Structure 1
Amino acid sequence: MSMQKPVEQRTPARRLKPSPRKGRLLHVRSGLSPEKTLLVRITIVIALIALVIAVFWFDRDGLKDQIDGSISFPDVLYFAMITVTTVGYGDIVPVSQTARLIDAFAVTPIRVFIWFIFLGTAYELVVQRIVEEFRLSRIQKQLHGHIVLCGFGHSGLIAAQETVAKGHPADRIVVIDGSEDRIQVAADAGFIGLLGDATSEETLTKACVGQAKAVIVSTGRDDTTILVILTVRHLSAATKIVANIKQEENIKLANLSGADLVVSPPKIGGYLMADAVDSQHATPFLCDLMSAGGRMVLTERRAEPDDVGKTMAEIDAGVVVQVHSHGRNIAFTERNRYIVQPNDLLLIISPPQSGEEAEPW
């Protein structure tokens, strides 16, 4: 069974509407690893110090050693180091106008810049990590019954919007993506953003997938999606997994990997387009039915005590189109004969609840 060729996930076509509260970034890292970042900054500092040494060496006649009166290369090296890191001790001083101008307008800015590098590195590699780990632990304590969304491309964005429209709080949705821009968009919209690889056990553990209500996997690539499914299922046997699969031949593989429900947008889109050929209103109605902001909504709920003992047609909460009872699917054609049993799952088409505004088709 073949896997589809890698397809790069596209950036969302539009930004989510920002929430009044400032978004939270659960975990943000630089594009470079801490080791590479440190190496780059050390290289910059060494280059700047070498520049100062070279400038002072070529203008060594403008310096005076208060002890022996002569300036050697070790004296220049010593003076450059203490001048860059401090303001000097007074044993070697600039005496010429040129040397003083160089120290004022060249060395002093370099000294300030190097100190900014030191302070920035200390913040990013030590302070920021401590702060992020503290924030991470606080947020993790509150994560239970949340939704984890792996992939924030166009499909993931729509899934997040619809989830919020159906009543799930935005700050109870953890978005995982490898793009810092997408994570920032998610955070600005009120979601919890987690910058990282959704196939990584470490990243999924930080998102608390074991306590999640569901994990939606929409990475844009079937091979990556299946790997995420396998990793999530390894970490949690009970968490519900909903996966977005593009190629039909990979649907079975996603199911075997542990997905509870597989959605194939190209396949669904094909059905809708085929319906649109011979009908004018069927496709808009189905799209409206799938949207939380439509004129009609499709809901799934357990049979209530008042529903038990009635036929599907007698339930007045809406139009019961299907019943799931003890592993069986009771079709709409049985609506006048099937008697609803306790613990049955009802699929009901009904108008939106009062106060909800329906969007036009």
Structure 2
Amino acid sequence: MIKGLLRQRPLSEQPGHALVGVIRMPDAKVSPLNAIIRRIVGALLFLFAAVIIVYIGRDGYTDSKGDGISFLDAVYYATVSLSTTGYGDIAPVTDSARLINIVVITPLRVAFLIVLVGTTLEVLTERSRQALRIQKWRNKVRDHVVVVGFGTKGRSAINALLAEHDVEANQVVVVDTDQQALDAASALGLITVHGSATRADVLRVAGVQRARSVVIAPNRDDTAVLVTLTARELAPKASILASVREAENVHLLKQSGADQVVVSSETAGRLLGMATRTPLVVDMVEDLLTPETGLAIAERPVTPKEEGGSPRHLPDTVLGLVRAGQLYRVDAPEADALEPGDRLLYVRHTARPDDDEDG
């Protein structure tokens, strides 16, 4: 009955443990040797606690010799008890034999238990850790970026975000229905949500209502329209950027609430057409669109010293400016004089470490 009620509840209202497998947090990088050392240390701590407990209550124990329980007896009793070996008619009776049992046999038993049940314990503890991390993340996530679709366009968008260094990998949430794509995203340190972004509940699980930006890059234009409608309803203040294949669907995305729409097929077609006449121009455009090296298009605010001047007289190569949310090219009459609050779109040299987005 309870399980049935859990299934009927929306994903966004499910507890953290019910979302393990839907949300996947990036795995912590721990070497196999460190994992084994941690398990051995944990086993020794349990053994030490058991020894102390037995020794403190030694008046309640007796052995076959009837001479009371020594500290060595307490260690031996704890050892055979925790290792599930037990005791019976065949048991060491001399101190040297018991010491050998503690020093030699017990490490072998611990190693055997690690090999035998280590994998099962790891799975159980990992699921619990995932549940706790998911619940903690859901309570704290703010101003992140949700990327719908981890295909070619989605991957390129994420690479550009990470290359600009203003977004960390754990601030990006990928939503997709392809588990292989999600595994690849998780390997990059991204948070992933398995499900269709056309469902409002899945987007809520991704925290889209508190996201800074939503990048919509599915394989189908109709999917992009539906996801945009859903995302805009959930996140009226977020910046929504969508990609479509056909230009005729741009107005649908705009009407659905997209702030910016990129036509992938026409953009690729224009680059191909340019390549037939001026292939080196295409190389330059690719350089501008690749922020890791060479040149890149960046944005920065106008400084007080630059106010009133012309953007054409600045040392930076200015392409345009943004004023009150409106973009003006550098040759437009509105761009003759810079005003307070303007933002410049300029060509940035990525090789200069001191040249950041804020100028």
Contact 2:196 2:202 (C-alpha < 8 Å) held by counterparts:
yes
1:280 shift after superposition: 3.2
Name the CA distance, whole Å, in 2 between partners of 1:353 and 1:323.
23
Contact 1:171 1:192 (C-alpha < 8 Å) held by counterparts:
yes
**Runs of 4 or more above 6 Å deviation:** 127-130
Name the CA distance, whole Å, in 1 between partners of 2:184 and 2:335.
51
- CA deviation digits over 1:286-318, x for unaligned, max 9? 1110111241110122222232122102222x1
SS of 1:330's partner is strand
SS of 1:283's partner is helix
Out of 305, 318, 334, which is 1:320 matched to?
318
1:353 shift after superposition: 4.6
Name the CA distance, whole Å, in 2 between partners of 1:190 and 1:196.
19
Q: 1:327 to 1:145 in 2, by over 3 A?
A: closer
Alignment of 1:1-361 (within 5 A): 27-29=20-22, 132-167=130-165, 168-316=167-315, 318-326=316-324, 328-334=326-332, 338-355=336-353
1:328 shift after superposition: 4.6
Q: 1:181 to 1:329 in 2, by over 3 A?
A: closer
Q: TM-score, structure 1 length as denominator? A: 0.61
**Gap regions ≥5 residues in structure 1:** 1-25, 31-119, 357-361
Name the CA distance, whole Å, in 2 between partners of 1:151 and 1:27.
20
Name the CA distance, whole Å, in 1 between partners of 2:174 and 2:347.
30
Q: 1:329 to 1:245 in 2, by over 3 A?
A: same
Q: 1:257 to 1:328 in 2, by over 3 A?
A: closer
Give aligned-pair identity as a percent.
Answer: 26
Contact 1:312 1:336 (C-alpha < 8 Å) held by counterparts:
no
- Report the AA paired with residue 157 of structure 1: R
Contact 2:146 2:208 (C-alpha < 8 Å) held by counterparts:
yes
Name the CA distance, whole Å, in 2 between partners of 1:308 and 1:269.
38
Name the CA distance, whole Å, in 1 between partners of 2:131 and 2:231.
22
Contact 1:225 1:245 (C-alpha < 8 Å) held by counterparts:
yes
Name the CA distance, whole Å, in 2 between partners of 1:29 and 1:209.
15
Contact 1:242 1:261 (C-alpha < 8 Å) held by counterparts:
yes
Q: TM-score, structure 2 length as denominator? A: 0.61
Name the CA distance, whole Å, in 1 between partners of 2:222 and 2:326.
32
- Report the AA paired with residue 292 of structure 1: P
Name the CA distance, whole Å, in 1 between partners of 2:251 and 2:333.
32
- Report the AA paired with residue 177 of structure 2: G
Contact 1:27 1:193 (C-alpha < 8 Å) held by counterparts:
no
Name the CA distance, whole Å, in 2 between partners of 1:269 and 1:180.
28
Larger % of helix: which? 2
1:247 shift after superposition: 1.5
Name the CA distance, whole Å, in 2 between partners of 1:183 and 1:337.
44
1:129 shift after superposition: 7.8
Name the CA distance, whole Å, in 2 between partners of 1:353 and 1:205.
39
SS of 2:252's partner is helix
Name the CA distance, whole Å, in 1 between partners of 2:22 and 2:332.
56
Name the CA distance, whole Å, in 1 between partners of 2:335 and 2:230.
44
Contact 2:22 2:193 (C-alpha < 8 Å) held by counterparts:
no
1:324 shift after superposition: 2.1
Contact 1:255 1:262 (C-alpha < 8 Å) held by counterparts:
yes
Q: 1:258 to 1:328 in 2, by over 3 A?
A: closer
Contact 2:145 2:173 (C-alpha < 8 Å) held by counterparts:
yes
Q: 1:309 to 1:234 in 2, by over 3 A?
A: same
Contact 1:324 1:345 (C-alpha < 8 Å) held by counterparts:
yes
Contact 2:299 2:344 (C-alpha < 8 Å) held by counterparts:
yes
Count of paired positions: 237
Contact 1:313 1:335 (C-alpha < 8 Å) held by counterparts:
no
1:262 shift after superposition: 0.5
Name the CA distance, whole Å, in 1 between partners of 2:299 and 2:187.
31
Instruction: Give 1:89's aligned residue.
Output: none
Q: What is the RMSD computed on CA atoms of the aligned residues?
A: 2.6
Name the CA distance, whole Å, in 2 between partners of 1:227 and 1:131.
34
Q: Greater relative contact order (Cα 8 A, min sep 6): structure 1 or 2?
A: 1
- Report the AA paired with residue 318 of structure 2: V
Contact 2:328 2:334 (C-alpha < 8 Å) held by counterparts:
no
Name the CA distance, whole Å, in 1 between partners of 2:20 and 2:215.
19
Q: 1:260 to 1:327 in 2, by over 3 A?
A: closer
- CA deviation digits over 1:226-258, x for unaligned, max 9? 111111111111111110101121111011001
- CA deviation digits over 1:98-136, x for unaligned, max 9? xxxxxxxxxxxxxxxxxxxxxx9xx99xx9987654332
Contact 2:211 2:235 (C-alpha < 8 Å) held by counterparts:
no
